[in-house]
Chains A and B, each alone.
Chain A
Amino acid sequence: MTPFHREAVWILVPVAMQMMGAETVRGQGARTEPDDVRVRSIMAMIASTEQTFAAVEWSQTAYVPPTATYQRKEWVLGTQQDRYVSDGGTWGIREVGHYWDPEDKVDTIQSGFYLGAAGFRVTYGVAEKRGMLTTLDGYHASGANMWRAMGQSLDLDHPLYPQSLSSLLYQAKRLEYIEPTPDYPWPGVRAFGISQKFMADAEVYVDPSHGGIIRRVRDRRPHDQVFVRDLIVLDVQNLDGIWVPRTFGTLLRAVYPVDDLEHPFSEQIAKDVETAMTMKGLPQECQSDLTLRWLRESVASQVVDKERRHVSGPGTALAKGKDASLFTPQIGVVTSIRFLDRAPTEAWIAELPEDFPFASALDDTRHSAQETAEAATKIIIDSTADWLPASHDNAHGGGIQ
């Protein structure tokens, strides 16, 4: 599998279902404020974080956990990414991913370059020196990334046009206050009865002492109330007076029925948990008590669920494949970040090599099957005409490098 071919498959069924949806209007005004003033204050902090991170450019490295299945004896570097996302609808990802093949003992490094806007995505396979134009598929929000830990693009019912996290929470039947604990000293809200296909209940914690930044988001799936997603900011840093993530963790629980496995997979996962808990291989800034607590609670406690006869754990893959981004949980480090006044689309496009052949997967009359990178980027620019592309000069502040 190559970045060129990679598709965000998880998005397809939700997208198909979106296509069948009825008319809806979701505005900011149509909501009822909860009675509990603490909940209202926390909801305001969640909304503040959302607005802060509406347009941001950052770089991150993400580490994948040890697992005997893939012969990883410690945490290893999975992906290095530069990303930008704007609430105007444009986004970009530059990615270097490591793909360890235990059977062939080959560690392949793949690079990808992705740009998207409106209804389109342009993918450039850097190694293959060719690109592909296709329809938007939500790829920009997928995988372990800092942006999602900030409450962005968590609406899997509408992955291409997600509602904000606060909008989802306001739809809940009940919002309750959660007290801070010694282990997780942040107040939070618990939302019961969110009427989503993929999200039933959610817990969101904020950190008032650090500008109200979102520190943790957990949500349960409707049919069995299992926590399937757990995003946490493990440490924060200050960017020109604004608190931003420094390290983060993302857990997407991959659940396997034990009976479907040919050997005691659960025993192997239990050993993997022990190895993961050593935190060996993780950068020093990630090796904190909080990281260990989170791994213990979120990963170790989910190894085997005897009642449901399911198994989960570190290093379990979300799908068959060698792509590092498929493994969960992941621990990430934000290596640079800046807030954007304008989407840096033009600057990103300028970095692409010229004479870059690309194929249109749209197979329509406007885009021939074989064109040039110039044609592909024109599509992005055209579709972002509402959002005048601008240079990095317009970015806010110097950023953290």
Chain B
Amino acid sequence: MKKRRLVIAGLSLQLGVMGSARALAQAQNEPPKGGEVQPASELQSLAVVSAGPESVGVVKQGQVASRTILFRNKSLVPVAIEIVSKSCSCLDTTFSRPFVMPGETTSLTVGTAALPGADQWLHQVTFRCVWSEGESSKSELGRVFLSYTCAIPFVLVPEHAVVTKTVGDMGAVEFDIYMLGSLDPLPEIADVTCTIEGWKVRRLDRDPMNPNHARFRAEGRVGSVGYQEGTIQWMAPGNESQPMLKTPLHITSLWPLRSMPGGAVFVPHGPDESMTKAVRLIERAGVTAKAWSVSLVEESEWVSASLDAEGVKVTLRAGEKRPDFGSARARVLDADGKALLEFPIAWWTAATSPPR
């Protein structure tokens, strides 16, 4: 069977296949909207005057890998240029002039902060050149590449710090840093910081037998319900502006209780119908949270909630003036008035027959 040359489109495709990050960067170039993509050197409207090497070689982690290509408008009419797609939104792509008069030049700079994770990264940028011929508009697509290899002297494990806790609890995560060369000592570390307020990082051990390894522990209190992202930074002596190493810290804060079902949804047949739904409260593992009272986040004329042994009873009240549609939120509190859970309430008066 002949092999097809397929260009896989869209970063959003969920793949499950073995491959290197290089293969991914190659595969995930988004296709332009139309027309055949030409190498930059074969464009009809632009000529390449000079170009930095496509492969910029070995670049230190975090430093910028970039190349610049200088184009000249070789046509007799003005040419407008726009970036159509790039293999990664981490790429900075800039044309010095997006509109080039005949004979004039414009330079395209493609750059990105070097990332570990691949033997070699290969990025690409596709751009469109548009010009007028008589009364019609012409266009063509060009593509340039940038490849580099990221050099990292040490490795951080895990690469992503993830903490999931209930609101207000203490959370912690540990990191190991070790040198790739087994005999290389760790570089001197002046300071380790976390950008999330209240979170501290400390070094746990200093093993004289293992000079190429260090372990750190970040800990702090988890904030309000939702998601919080910060950065842990390792600073080298004498360089306060650029961390020698950094990693993101992702914190998800959950309510101590869960609701089952997740919310109360009513489907009354008319405004004169009153309904009640039960929402069971579930304590998360390791949490001893006792529901004491329940209220609505914002008062509603049409919804009330009360606590019983099984959980929360939510009632949709009848009334001629009750809107056909509506929503509310219930909040469960402990004896100290601390919120343990919020869950949604909705009602929908509709004649829509159930879809099956």
Interface residues of A (CB under 8 A from B): 1, 5-10, 12-29, 37-38, 40-45, 47-55, 87-89, 102-103, 118-120, 135-136, 139, 141-143, 156, 160-161, 163, 180, 184-187, 197-199, 207-212, 215, 221, 223-224, 228-229, 235, 241-242, 252-257, 259-263, 265, 288, 290, 307-310, 318-321, 323, 325-326, 339, 341-343, 362-366, 386-388, 390, 396
Contacts and interface: CB of A to CB of B under 8 A. Distances in A.
B265 A45 contact: yes
Nearest to B249: A23
Contacts of B12: 10, 156, 198-199, 221, 228-229, 252
B225 A161 contact: no
Contacts of A143: 14, 16
Contacts of B171: 386
A9 B263 contact: no
Contacts of B33: 224, 308
A40 B263 CA distance: 14
Given A47-B262, A88-B164, A135-B158, A21 B248 contact: yes
Contact of A211 (B16, B23, B261, B343): B261
A241 B241 CA distance: 57
B31 interface: yes
B13 A254 contact: yes
Contacts of A52: 260-263
A388 B166 CA distance: 13
Given A45-B265, A326-B16, A28 B88 contact: no
Contacts of A41: 325-327, 346-348
A195 to B, nearest CB: 12
B248 A319 contact: no
Given A8-B16, A212-B265, A257-B31, A48 B343 contact: yes
A17 B90 contact: yes
Interface size class for chain B?
Answer: 35 or more
B219 to A, nearest CB: 12
B227 A366 contact: no
B18 A44 contact: no
B305 to A, nearest CB: 14
B8 A318 contact: yes
B160 A187 contact: no
Interface of B: 1-2, 4-19, 21, 23-25, 27-28, 30-31, 33-34, 36, 84-85, 87-90, 113, 115, 117, 155, 157-165, 171, 173, 176, 178, 195-196, 210, 213, 223-231, 247-248, 250, 252, 254, 258-265, 267, 282-286, 323, 325-329, 342-348, 350, 352-356
Given A135-B157, A208-B350, A362-B157, 15 more contacts: A8-B15, A18-B160, A44-B329, A48-B262, A48-B263, A119-B173, A136-B160, A161-B252, A207-B355, A209-B352, A212-B265, A228-B10, A262-B2, A341-B282, A342-B285
A25 B227 contact: yes
A102 B110 CA distance: 41
B250 A161 contact: yes
A367 to B, nearest CB: 8
A23 B195 contact: yes
Contacts of A386: 164-165, 171, 286
B30 A290 contact: no
Contacts of B25: 13
A9 B24 contact: yes
A40 B326 contact: yes
A7 B347 contact: no
Given A156-B12, A387-B286, A187 B344 contact: no
Contacts of A262: 2, 4-5
Contacts of B113: 20
B31 A310 contact: yes
Contacts of B31: 255, 257, 310
A55 B258 contact: yes
A27 B225 CA distance: 6
A252 B13 contact: yes
Contacts of B5: 260-262
A290 B141 CA distance: 41
B160 A135 contact: yes
A163 to B, nearest CB: 6
A396 B281 CA distance: 11
28 contacts: A5-B18, A9-B18, A9-B27, A10-B12, A19-B247, A25-B229, A27-B225, A45-B348, A49-B262, A51-B263, A87-B258, A89-B162, A118-B158, A119-B159, A143-B14, A163-B227, A209-B267, A209-B353, A223-B85, A259-B36, A308-B34, A310-B9, A341-B285, A362-B158, A363-B155, A365-B178, A365-B210, A365-B213
Contacts of A163: 227
Contact of B6 (A228, A260, A341): A260
B331 to A, nearest CB: 11
Contacts of B163: 118
A319 B348 CA distance: 42
A196 B89 CA distance: 11
A6 B16 CA distance: 6
B157 A366 contact: yes
